Chains A and B, each alone.
Chain A
């Protein structure tokens, strides 16, 4: 596609529920990243995929967070037992290669846990 697409754009969920956030990267981009941006802060790295495998998941805050990219294209970020502190904008980005060529962010999913 023309850009990185993220769905839904907004998600409101109740505390304790499970949510899935989807990212569709730019066609041909092998690298995919997830970041979390809290209000008034810069994006914080969560996880990085090269192809289908999670090459670096050091930014995931705890085991309630998990992400997959089964076919090396679309990725899903999954959050179990959501907490109010999980409320943030979740940004996805993709790049052509490991050197960050063409690094492009999506518009994000605004997650609100009530």
Chain B
């Protein structure tokens, strides 16, 4: 089955700096890669996603890049703010043409220091 590795496990940055989180996946059939933000005790919330037919997607301060050849994808957050502090999870769909089954990385605890 699919295996998703996520690095780093913790990341501390100063407010205004950029943060980058990287993930690799194993199943070349995976074609959907969402990123979730989870605050303590709350539900995971989708912040951005990318499908395998594009290499990059941007939404305001958040961007995701995908390299299908190398089987890795990254989350980029620019101009970080204290409210960006949370655990971020990457995921990959492991269900072929359907996207119902997500395999998650272990998460990155991002701390933005004011």
Contact A105 B34 (CB under 8 A): no
Complexed CA–CA distance, A19 and B66 (Å): 41
SS of B interface (majority): strand
Q: How many residues of A contact B (CB 8 A)?
A: 25
Q: Is B91 an interface residue (CB 8 A)?
A: yes
Q: Per-residue CB proximity of A29-51 to B under 8 Å, as 1/0?
A: 00101010000111111001010
- Segment 81-107 of B: residues with Cβ below 8 Å from A: 89, 91, 93, 95, 98-107
Q: Most A CB atoms within 10 A — which of B43, B95, B104?
A: B43
In-complex Cβ contact of A106 among B4, B43, B100, B104 (8 A): B43
Q: Size band of the B side of the interface?
A: 20 to 34
- A42:B100 contact, CB within 8 angstroms: no
Instruction: Tell me, rounded to whole Å, the shortest Cβ–Cβ distance linking B32 to chain A.
Output: 7
A49 to B105, CA, bound (A): 23
Q: How far is the CA of A42 from the CA of B4 in the complex (A)?
A: 10
B45 at the interface (CB under 8 A from A): yes
Query: Nearest chain B CB to A26's CB is how many angstroms away?
Result: 13
Q: Which residues of B contact A (CB under 8 A)?
A: 4, 6, 32, 34, 36, 42-46, 89, 91, 93, 95, 98-107
